[in-house]
Amino acid sequence: MASSSAEVKKGDVDMLASDVPPPLRQRLGTEGTDGLLEVLERTREESVTAAISACTDRFERRLIETGAALRLEIAGLRQEMRDGFAAGRQEMHDGLAAVRQEMHDGLAAVRQEMHDGFAAVRQELATQRADQLKWSFLFWVGQVAVVAGLFGVLLRAMTS
């Protein structure tokens, strides 16, 4: 963009004709200097656009690579979590099975002890019952002997 003040203004850069060295300005003239400034400004804009485009492409590529790496890492973490949970579930299952078996064995032992204890109590009751009957029988025989003796003494006393 040529202007009469020999100034080219594009973006944030102001290029003045006074920025061009005087011998070059004299040789090119006002129009040549303005044309040179326009070409330089256009080249600068194209360079900036190309640099921004290259940076954007590089950034997008890195962003895609990083996103893919993150996805892979997240998938790996998910798998680790699944494996960990599965292992935890298996440990709990095995632990509960062991507890169930231990309780079953313990209850079986308690049942056996109770059975043996009740059998011993039954045997003891039977033995005591037999002893009680034996002593009761002896007591009754003794009572019968005493009563018979008393009758014998009374009969002798009555007959004499």
Say how far apart CA 82 and CA 159 lie, in whole Å. 112
Range of the domain at 50: 7-121+128-142
What's the confidence (pLDDT) of residue 4?
A: 42
Q: What's the predicted TM-score (pTM) here?
A: 0.43
> In this structure, is residue 28 part of a structural domain?
yes
Nearest to 30 by CA among 42, 39, 45, 18: 18
Write out pLDDT tens, residues 96-133: 999 999 999 999 999 999 999 999 999 999 999 999 99
> In this structure, is residue 151 part of a structural domain?
no
The domain tally of the chain equals 1
> In this structure, is residue 147 part of a structural domain?
no
DSSP code for 17? G
pLDDT higher than 50, residue 3: no
> In this structure, is residue 149 part of a structural domain?
no
Q: Between 6 and 127, name the one with better pLDDT.
A: 127
Write out pLDDT tens, residues 25-81: 888 888 888 888 899 899 999 999 999 999 999 999 999 999 999 999 999 999 999
CA distances from 111 to 97, 105, 108, 123 (A): 21, 10, 5, 18
> In this structure, is residue 156 part of a structural domain?
no
